[in-house]
Amino acid sequence: MDAATFAAVFVALYVGHSVGDHWVQTSRQSADKGRPGWAGRLADARHVATLTATKLVLLLPVAALLGLHLSVLGLVAGLGVDAATHWWADRRETLARLAKLLGNAEFYSLGTNNHPAAPVTAEGKPAAHLGTGAYALDQTWHHLWLLVAALLVTTV
C-alpha cells in the first residue's frame, strides 16, 4: 500500500458516506432505524445496505480510473467493518449510551430541548439551530470507521 492509494480510497469512501447517508438514505429509514425491535433493526439494515452500495459504486470507478490495485478481501473487510459499525451507531441508543459512558451526554443533547442551554427565541420557544450534538458525534464516529475501512481496503 502507498499513501496515495490510501488517500484515494479514503476520499472515495468519505464522499460515498456523505452521499449515502444524506441523499440515498430515505426519510423512512432515517425515522425508523432507531426504533426498538425488528422494525428498527431492519430499517437500519436497509439504510446500511444502500449506504455500502453507494460507497462501492463510487469506489470502484475511482480505483479503476486511477489504476488502484485493491483486493476483494480488502474490500470485503473494509466495507464490512464500516457497515457493522455504522449499523451499530445508527441504532441511536447505542451511540447515546457510549456518549454517556464517555461523559459526553450533555454534548449529545446539544441542539435539542433536552440540553440545559437549549436555544430559545425571545418568546421562550425553541429556536432554530444548525445541528445537534447527537449528529456531530454520529458523523465523527462514522469518520473514524471510514479511516479504519480505508486502511483495511488498502492493506488487506
Q: What is the pLDDT along the chain (156 residues), one digit of tens a residue?
A: 699 999 999 999 999 999 999 999 999 999 999 999 999 999 999 999 999 999 999 999 999 999 999 999 999 999 999 999 999 999 999 999 999 999 999 888 887 777 676 677 788 777 766 678 889 999 999 999 999 999 999 999
Its sign, for the CA torsion 39, 42, 48, 51, is negative
Say if CB 82 and CB 13 are below 8 A apart: yes
Region for residue 119 given its phi and psi (left: phi exceeds 0; alpha: psi -120 to 50; beta: otherwise): beta
Whole-structure pTM value = 0.89
